[in-house]
Structure 1
Amino acid sequence: MDTWLKESRKRADSAHHVVPIRSGVLWSEALMRQSMPPSTADPDTSRPNRIPPDVPRNMHDSYCELLLPFASSPELLEQYINASGGIRTGMLMEHLDSLAGGIAYKHMLGPGVEVLSKDQGFYMVTASVDRLDMLAPLYPVRDMRLSGQVIHTGRSSMEVAVRMEALEKDGREQTIMLGRFFMVCRDAKTHKAAPVNPLKLSTPEDKQLFALGETHKDRRRLRTSVSLDRLPPTSLEAEELHSLFLHVHQKVFGGYLMRLAYELGFANAELFTGCHVLFVSLDCISFAKPVPIGSILRLSSHILHTTSSEQFPGLIHVGVQANVVDVATGKEQTTNDFRFTWCTDHNIPLTRKVVPKTYKGPCGERLGFSEELLQRTLTSKTY
């Protein structure tokens, strides 16, 4: 996938690499504008002339990138340094989620879009983060480039592939992380599924990436069928699934939750191992419910599994669960489940083991860690 993405990037117009962002506004002002007629709410947010959703888009037209000049900007680097002197990987994950959203909007609105108005007629939601793999060490002395593009589209969904590269002073580039985000499109008024522009496959690399997306789509369907014990959802369950996307405005940004979960899981892994750990992969993030701004959020972390391999003498699989707490009743609702894998630094073997307490995993599958997941984690580069 890395090679195909590099070839696709060469065809992207460098003038359109910018990530489209929303124009800034205070939340109090946003609430006030909601009660105004559309013509007076904001004169600068008229809906752009969007290409009809049945017109195909080139895959490279959605390409976006974000440069983090750590090597040349000590002030910026200071914001990302953790207690161990490394980069706060959770913050980079938050950026990747934001990048994936910008890429999704660029696919819908066209490569020239730079600022997102407040009335697009649709909105994009991160349905899941299918996979994030760390492929090389993350040293804080190099500039970093975060980039990505759409590689697959369905009727109302798309898959966004993201990359994180280290830029050496001699011009060389090294891929540090690869990941995939699954985005869905919803109508801004009805909150029902809205169509997305299909992809135009013009090169062999485009066809390979699209075929990869088809494989990932089949895998998601299989995972869903397993989590439902191979039974179709009832009408009540289907209604519940639909309601997940009814309210997205004034909700906590998913990338922020991912950063909190990463940092909690990282602390748990270090406490469990008694040594410094390195990030290996992220797998199976489900966004079960939106998190309203102002909620009380409880995050809990558990060591789910430990193992070893020739490449990694100590692997620690950590699950983090995010629950929204109802202050009045004390009841909690799970909004997110996260899966992370770390390895012990300096090839230190594990001295502690965990014993499974339950049969069902936090992502709904029958076993906490399937053979496929373990194999994907150990190889890291399987997509």
Structure 2
Amino acid sequence: MQDSYTELTLPFGSSSQLLEQYTNASGGIRTGKLMEHLDSLAGSIAYKHMLGPGVETLGRIQETGFYIVTASVDRLDMLSPLNPAHDLRLSGQVIHTGTSSMEVAVKMESVRMGQPDETVLIGKCRFSMVCRDAITNGSRKVCPLVINTAEERSLYNLGEHMKERRKTVALKSLSKVPPSSKEAADLHSFYLKHGEGEDAVAGADHVFMADTVVEKCMLMFPQERNVHQKIFGGYLMRLAYELGFTNASMFTQGHTKFLSLDGISFARPVPIGSILRLRSQIVHTATSSQYPILVHVGVKANVVDVTTGLEQTTNDFRFTWCQEHGSSSPNLRHVVPKTYKEAMLWLEGKRALEVGAEIREQHLRR
């Protein structure tokens, strides 16, 4: 397992020039740009696992005989704030292998300049990578992991849990099965409070989901290509993040803090020269004892065929932002679904917020 271990340090604390490239409008770090690095690092780790720790260059895919793509990103949870005055260390390794898949765990740590032992865990991210044959594009077997220590066995079990959890979540997807009785009751109660009568008119405390849509269309240039001559997945993550952040900020009417990337699915690659339509939408809002305002945002990426007008979904992104006590907007505006499809999105957002709250609670207990 240690053969695939890789780390990268971004010296924000010691390089003002580097920090300038990553500084956002609030003086913090551009999280979207970090997502590009996380995806690139996960890919590098997966190739290192397949090619061996001594290999430093990938070479041509045709000569290697295989290529690796990101199948999904399970979660990215921000557990501590990013500090621009400290360096940021990104590290990770393959923790589980299947027949043609690899689970990659990546973490971000803040490191005080001159104090390498003083680290703070910033966030954890989990990637699922799959290996494909360079000629047939079919699945390709990956090198199995050799487990040597109890710690590695624990990480392997975590990777197994991640894989099984994805299967369970897929089986319980609202696109396949109806909501539970409790979810149906919650939705009905919410509808009675906000979705009928005088309250059915959007007002100061609620907004219809269809009215929260923010879109962006872009031409995909070759400068953003990956080694497979497609648009780099990390770049798509950054675009989706920034559009989602914009939408969350306009919806909450104030500054928002990024909490988690709740999931990304990669359905198909984005070709160079294609037109990409990004569509963001607020799908759920809530409040908690820790955060007075929580906003869950879905961003869908579609490739548009300009000759026919047809669109194909390439990626589905889910993010959560919040506002903290002392800096939140005066009122939480609830997002109200009007159609059955929107109601299912509302419930999916509710599920994501509940999972995120559970993960943050576990981190606080530690």
Shift of 1:359: 4.0
Residues 280 and 380 of structure 1 are in contact (CA less than 8 Å); yes or no, is this contact kept in structure 2?
Answer: no
Which residue matches 2:294? 315
Which residue matches 2:357? 378
Q: Secondary structure at the match of 2:357?
A: helix
Distance 1:269 1:366, change over 3 A: closer
For 1:361 and 1:287, the matched residues in 2 are separated by 22
Residues 320 and 353 of structure 2 are in contact (CA less than 8 Å); yes or no, is this contact kept in structure 1?
Answer: no
For 2:358 and 2:137, the matched residues in 1 are separated by 39
Query: What letter is aligned with 1:367?
Result: L
Q: Structure 1 unaligned runs (5+)?
A: 1-58, 231-247
Q: Secondary structure at the match of 1:369?
A: helix
RMSD: 2.1
For 1:314 and 1:167, the matched residues in 2 are separated by 30
Moved over 3 A (4+): 345-350, 357-362, 364-367, 379-383
> What are the equivalent positions in structure 2 for 1:225-264 lying under 5 Å apart?
225-227=171-173, 229=176, 249-264=228-243
Q: In the alignment, which of 154, 157, 160 is matched to residue 214 of structure 1?
A: 160
Q: Secondary structure at the match of 1:214?
A: helix
Which residue matches 2:347? 367
Distance 1:175 1:249, change over 3 A: same
Shift of 1:161: 0.2
Residues 277 and 343 of structure 1 are in contact (CA less than 8 Å); yes or no, is this contact kept in structure 2?
Answer: yes
Q: In the alignment, which of 177, 183, 186 is matched to residue 129 of structure 2?
A: 183
Which residue matches 2:55? 113
The worse-fitting range, judged by mean Cα deviation, of 285-294 and 341-350 is: 341-350
**Alignment TM-score, normalising by the size of structure 1:** 0.76
Deviations 1:35-83 (A, max 9, x none): xxxxxxxxxxxxxxxxxxxxxxxx1110001110011111111111111
* Count of matched residue positions in the alignment of Structure 1 and Structure 2: 307
Shift of 1:141: 1.2
Residues 276 and 345 of structure 1 are in contact (CA less than 8 Å); yes or no, is this contact kept in structure 2?
Answer: no
Residues 290 and 324 of structure 2 are in contact (CA less than 8 Å); yes or no, is this contact kept in structure 1?
Answer: no
Which residue matches 2:284? 305
Query: What letter is aligned with 2:336?
Result: V
Which residue matches 1:149? 93
Deviations 1:231-278 (A, max 9, x none): xxxxxxxxxxxxxxxxx9321011100000000000111111111111
Distance 1:166 1:94, change over 3 A: same
> What are the equivalent positions in structure 2 for 1:78-227 lying under 5 Å apart?
78-118=20-60, 119-169=63-113, 170-171=115-116, 172-227=118-173
Query: What letter is aligned with 2:176?
Result: D
Distance 1:337 1:361, change over 3 A: farther
Which residue matches 2:209? none
Residues 244 and 280 of structure 2 are in contact (CA less than 8 Å); yes or no, is this contact kept in structure 1?
Answer: yes
For 2:7 and 2:234, the matched residues in 1 are separated by 17
Residues 67 and 145 of structure 1 are in contact (CA less than 8 Å); yes or no, is this contact kept in structure 2?
Answer: yes
The question of 1:288 aligning with 2:261 is answered: no
Residues 324 and 334 of structure 1 are in contact (CA less than 8 Å); yes or no, is this contact kept in structure 2?
Answer: yes
For 1:366 and 1:153, the matched residues in 2 are separated by 34
Q: Structure 2 unaligned runs (5+)?
A: 178-226
Query: What letter is aligned with 1:357?
Result: K
Q: Secondary structure at the match of 1:306?
A: strand
Q: Secondary structure at the match of 1:380?
A: helix
Residues 313 and 348 of structure 1 are in contact (CA less than 8 Å); yes or no, is this contact kept in structure 2?
Answer: no
Residues 297 and 325 of structure 1 are in contact (CA less than 8 Å); yes or no, is this contact kept in structure 2?
Answer: yes
For 1:278 and 1:379, the matched residues in 2 are separated by 18
Residues 24 and 30 of structure 2 are in contact (CA less than 8 Å); yes or no, is this contact kept in structure 1?
Answer: yes
